[in-house]
Amino acid sequence: MNRDELIEMATQVYGECVWHETALLRLEAFAKLVAKAEREACARIVDPLPYEDISARMLENRAALIRARGQA
């Protein structure tokens, strides 16, 4: 995600504000940590798949589990 997208999301949370460079660097660092944690959580959902037996149905089920993470 680029800086403009990050600022847009932060604006949804904090409302309109002026972002100073130091605050933006911290916000970007935080976003990277959150994204890393989410990627790892998604990987743990997919890791148990028996790759030699992957079917379209199994992939759909895993995709649904990943998407459902946003509703927790």
How far is residue 3's CA from residue 24's CA, in Å, rounded to a whole number?
8
- Residue 69 pLDDT more than 70? yes
Closest CA to 66 of 47, 13, 15, 8: 47
C-beta pairs of 18-26 under 8 Å, 24+ apart in sequence:
none
Q: Which two tokens stand for residue 40?
A: 């790892």
pTM score, whole prediction: 0.67
Mean pLDDT, rounded, for 50-67 = 71
Closest CA to 27 of 54, 55, 5, 59: 5
Count of the separate structural domains present in the chain: 1
The whole domain housing 53 covers 3-71
Express each pLDDT in 18-58 by its tens digit. 989 999 999 999 998 998 888 888 877 776 666 666 676 67
